[in-house]
Structure 1
Amino acid sequence: MTHDPLNTYRPCVKCTITRIIMFMAVSFFIMAMIFLQPAQAVALAAKLPSPAVIGGGIVVLAMLEFLRRLWVHSKRAS
């Protein structure tokens, strides 16, 4: 069975733009953490949510992406 290059997953424009914006935001945040004084960086980091909340958000986003791909696949199959 050969791989069909035309049937590969291609994210929509909105998804691509969202990913680029998120990448830029995280990059700017990391640069700010590097350039700020340690006390300011600690104060900024204290405002972040807990790791459990961040992990839960990642799980929810992954689940939504899985369901979206499953829905797209079921639409193509029918």
Structure 2
Amino acid sequence: MLVSAFVLASVFATNTSVCEAATDFKTVGKSAYMVDYATGTVLYARNENERLPIASMVKIMTSLLTLEAVERGDISLDDD
């Protein structure tokens, strides 16, 4: 399931039609921040400067460590 999430994230990061549609992005969250991984361009920002309690740090750290392991070649996005 984690691999599926990264594949989906990769599609959003590389598919220009998805990136262009980010201006119409809707979320129920109090804040959101979407960046094009390849260019660093901010695609969507909502209340990005508002101070909020930390949430989902475990998910973010898991994502970071998994992507770093993929870059090192330790694992593949095709692994189960």
Does the pair score TM above 0.5? no
Pick 1 or 2: higher relative contact order, CA cutoff 8 A, min separation 6.
2
TM-score (norm 2): 0.32
TM-score (norm 1): 0.33
Q: State which structure, 1 or 2, has the greater radius of gyration over its C-alpha atoms.
A: 1
